[in-house]
Amino acid sequence: MTDDKRILELLNTRDEAGLKALSDKYTPYLMKIASNFLSDRNDCEECLNDVFMRVWQEKLSVKPELLSVHLASLVREICIDYYRKNHRKKRIASEYTVSLSEIGDLASDGKASDPEESIDRMWLSGLLNAYFRTRPKEVRNIFIMRYYYFDSVSEIAKRTGSTVMRINTLLSRERKRLRKYLEQEGYEC
Amino acid sequence: MLKKDDFMDAMRDLDQDLLMDAERARRTSGKRNWAAGAIGIAAAAVLLLAGSAFLIRQNLIRQTPVSSGTELSESDVSDTSWHSTADLQESVLSLSETESTSLPEETETERTSLPEETETVHSEKVVDKPKPVSLYEGSAICDSGIVSITGSGPEFAEGVALKKTCLYPGPSVWIHETGLISQGESVSVIRTATVLTYNTPEPYEGWTTSESKWYFVTVGSEGAIGYVKAEDIGNAAECTEERESPIETEPESTEENQAESSGQPADGDAAMQETENAYEDLSEWEKAFAEWERKYLFKDRVIFDSGIVSVIGRDPEFTEGVALKETYLYPAPNELFYETGLIYQGRPVTVIRTADVRTGDSPETEEFETASESKWYFVTTGTQGRIGYVKAEDIGNAAEVHVEMTGPWIVKEGYEYYETVGLRNPRYAEDTNVNVRGPFWIVYKNEETGLCKLASRQDYIIYLYDTDALEPYMEIGYPRTLRAG
């Protein structure tokens, strides 16, 4: 298995062997994440193709140790776009759908804000970063697993050696805590 | 007003060190599970990657000027060696970094205190570790009978029964019925399909016998669910075999089981004997069916251990219930195992395994057991205590199509309802020497391609066949009594 440093070297020299190595190594990993968003295998496949295409077209300037995080971010972004584009045409049953439902006590339904309001989103990101840095590592990681990677609660329970009930409770409390925090910062939740 | 999409977008911009932390936690503590999931997905990805690589290659050729380097060769794109367990595990190992995930004091407190938000926790009834349970296996079940329920772990007093009946000759004809079961009470079966057996006043020649198996899914006093043993069903002097979990998988129906089918009504004995003569080697027969089923019924269907359930019912409204998952391992055509789970509207199915499973998604997989495919049966309790099948869409990662037995048919995009027909002995599984019979079929036709989809009421699986192949069998030998939707 090619290491990440080598993969990045190959990609940055436009060597297609890098793309293959990347695909070989990360397809299962990215498929897992994509499948948390999209229930259809073909949809996942399409998103993964977009990820690899974007990696190929855009020069990667990430550190090798952050390659997996970067790829996860890419597939997350692409899958969310795909989800939003297609969810109204056909119901997509996925962990992402469930997660959207769960954050109903934190945020309301509705499309993303206009691009002009991206400053607000940057501000919100800053608040979230600040918030999570104050939280216990385990709680923060579980929240990110659920609402960034959209891992299922049962998966998280297995990974953390906990129970489904406890993870659900923890997430529920954390949403309420975050809501309170955001309201204090002026957001209407 | 904070919107969900904005929140999700903002999460995208979390600092990388926070994400890396979470990533490590995912991989470290979940190394085994991630590997399991990844390997499970590998089953789906076997074809995918070849396709992906091909598409990427095509896209590269079409869209991207390749400044240097060599084009991926055919051997490169078809190389699937990365799918091996060893490679995946190596991948995991190379990506992982050990880090402890000790519980902060605060969360310890959270774990032990009684949560006030438990009304939002829908899976609290689910037992995380399966209790020892038993699986009943038998045959020659009649339509109703007395149930003797015994179970270990929680006391099983009542539950839901799923009856799977095989009519033969005509191995594809499976009938599924459900019923409520209570200790010492008779089973009230709700039929969900038209049954043509020797018991009916309108027997069809050739369809003279049937054999059934019951699966009992119960909710115990502690909310736990599991299989139970059932003895002396109906008129059959059943010789039941109780198996303690883990279960060594065997063919569903064997010669021995056939011989034990002593409870058939007398007027069916001759027909039964005749059929037995015709199918002396039932294990071979079962293998043939399993192979046929694998080839045709499970095609393009890959199910994972959990998924989101969309429960749709009519009267009454079905919102929760019990799921029975039947998983087929291959290659190894007769390897079946069963799992149960509670289902809630819009919630993931949490599966309780009842067997020692060796599938491609387990780290201890044997080399030849690389894939598994499953069917889900959902038996729900409605608001009025009634039960029935429900439709399940998009289970797990699979774009799965189930057809609700009592509700509207699901028509895949691009197809429209065409006609309900009766088919006389359509033979479309030539290579398995299996004559597949179905009295009623719903046909959907794609006007553009001319292809028809056949939906079988019995199997509620949708098939795709060429119109030309279909036409010779469109003799109307049965009344057009079933309606679509």
Q: Note the pLDDT of residue A71.
A: 92
Is B423 within the bounds of a domain?
yes
Interface predicted TM-score of the whole assembly (ipTM), two decimals: 0.86
**pLDDT tens digit sequence for B270-329:** 433 433 443 344 445 445 444 444 443 322 222 223 334 444 333 334 445 555 555 554
A4-93 architecture in CATH? Orthogonal Bundle (1.10)
Q: Note the pLDDT of residue A177.
A: 87
CB atoms within 10 A of CB B106: 12
Calculate mean pLDDT across residues A62-78.
Answer: 88
Q: Identify from A65, A148, A189 which residue to disrupt to test chain B contact, counting B C-beta atoms within 10 A and taking the largest count.
A: A148
B48 neighbors A45 (Cβ within 8 angstroms)? yes
Q: Are B89 and B138 part of one and the same domain?
A: no
Q: Which of B248, B265, B295 is the last residue of a domain?
A: B295
Q: Measured between alpha carbons, how far is residue A13 from residues A51, A52, B66 in Å? A: 18, 16, 11
Of B77, B98, B82, residue with least CA distance to B39: B82
Is B364 within the bounds of a domain?
no
Q: Note the pLDDT of residue B179.
A: 52
Q: Are B185 and B52 part of one and the same domain?
A: no
Q: Note the pLDDT of residue B231.
A: 35
Kindly report the nearest CA distance between residue A22 and chain B, in angstroms: 11
Q: Which of B250, B274, B295 is the last residue of a domain?
A: B295
Compute CA B93 distance to the chain's CA centroid, rounded to the nearest angstrom: 32
Q: Note the pLDDT of residue B24.
A: 84
Is B208 within the bounds of a domain?
yes
Of B398, B256, B430, residue with least CA distance to B327: B398
Which of B14, B90, B309 lies at the smallest CB-CB distance from A128? Answer: B14
pLDDT grade for A75, boundaries at 50, 70 and 90: very high
**pLDDT tens digit sequence for B422-463:** 332 232 322 222 223 333 344 455 556 555 444 443 333 333
Q: Identify from A83, A133, A165 which residue to disrupt to test chain B contact, counting B C-beta atoms within 10 A and taking the largest count.
A: A165
Which of A28, A170, A189 lies at the smallest CB-CB distance from B41? Answer: A28
Which of B48, B59, B306 lies at the smallest CB-CB distance from A41? Answer: B48
Point out the least confidently predicted range of A82-91, A158-167, B44-53, B377-386: B44-53
CA atoms of B71 and B58, how far apart (whole Å): 10
Helices A16-37, A4-12: axis angle to 10 degrees equals 120
Would the pLDDT of A135 be above 60? yes
Of B270, B273, B252, B260, residue with least CA distance to B166: B252
Q: Note the pLDDT of residue B484.
A: 27
Better-predicted residue by pLDDT, A105 or A57: A57
Contact A57 B5 (CB under 8 A): no
Could you identify the residue written with the tokens 């009421």?
A: B457
Which of B21, B79, B307 lies at the smallest CB-CB distance from A141? Answer: B21
Nearest Cα residue in chain B from A117: B6
Which residue range forms the structural domain that includes residue B142? 134-295
**pLDDT tens digit sequence for A11-58:** 888 888 888 899 888 988 898 888 888 877 778 888 888 898 888 888
Q: Note the pLDDT of residue B14.
A: 86
Q: Are B67 and B143 part of one and the same domain?
A: no
Is B51 within the bounds of a domain?
yes
Kindly report the nearest CA distance between residue A134 and chain B, in angstroms: 12
Residues whose CB falls within 8 Å of the CB of residue B457, separated by 6 or more in sequence, listed in order: B193, B194, B405, B438, B440, B441, B442, B482
Q: Note the pLDDT of residue B18.
A: 87
Q: Are B288 and B161 part of one and the same domain?
A: yes
Q: Are B46 and B156 part of one and the same domain?
A: no
CA atoms within a 13 Å half-sphere pointing along the CA-CB vector of B216? 30
What value, to the nearest 5°, has the Cα angle with vertex A84 and ends A80 and A86?
Answer: 115
Would the pLDDT of B371 be above 80? no
Q: Are B276 and B184 part of one and the same domain?
A: yes
CA atoms of A96 and A159, how far apart (whole Å): 19
Kindly report the nearest CA distance between residue B109 and chain A, in angstroms: 11
Of B47, B66, B67, B43, residue with least CA distance to B55: B47
Better-predicted residue by pLDDT, A112 or B344: A112
What are residue B65's DSSP bridge partners? none
Kindly report the nearest CA distance between residue B57 and chain A, in angstroms: 9
- Domain positions in chain A are 4-93, 99-184
Residues whose CB falls within 8 Å of the CB of residue A61, separated by 6 or more in sequence, listed in order: none
Q: Identify from B1, B8, B90 which residue to disrupt to test chain A contact, counting A C-beta atoms within 10 A and taking the largest count.
A: B8
Which of B13, B68, B123 lies at the smallest CB-CB distance from A164? Answer: B123
Is B396 within the bounds of a domain?
no
pLDDT grade for B254, boundaries at 50, 70 and 90: very low
Q: Are B139 and B44 part of one and the same domain?
A: no
Q: Are B257 and B173 part of one and the same domain?
A: yes
Considering chain B, what percentage of its residues have pLDDT values greater than 90? 0
Contact A28 B91 (CB under 8 A): yes
Q: Are B46 and B164 part of one and the same domain?
A: no
Contact B68 A153 (CB under 8 A): no
Is B194 within the bounds of a domain?
yes
Calculate mean pLDDT across residues B323-339.
Answer: 48
Mean pLDDT of chain B: 39
Q: Which of B270, B295, B320 is the last residue of a domain?
A: B295
CA atoms of B175 and B193, how far apart (whole Å): 6
For residue B37, list chain A residues with Cβ-Cβ distance below 8 A. Answer: 32, 155
Show which of residues 350-389 on chain B sit within 8 Å of chain A, judged by CB atoms.
350
* Per-residue H/E/C for A95-142: HHHHHHHHHHHCCECCCCCCHHHHHHHHHHHHHHHHHHHCCCHHHHHH
Q: Note the pLDDT of residue B94.
A: 28
Could you identify the residue written with the tokens 């395994």?
A: B353
B70 contacts chain A (CB < 8 A): yes
A99-184 architecture in CATH? Orthogonal Bundle (1.10)
Calculate mean pLDDT across residues A137-146.
Answer: 92
What value, to the nearest 5°, has the Cα angle with vertex B167 and ends B165 and B169?
Answer: 155
Better-predicted residue by pLDDT, B330 or B131: B330
Provide the number of CB pairs (under 8 Å) joining chain A to chain B.
313
Of B447, B346, B192, B123, residue with least CA distance to A39: B346
Would the pLDDT of B6 be above 80? yes
pLDDT grade for B162, boundaries at 50, 70 and 90: low
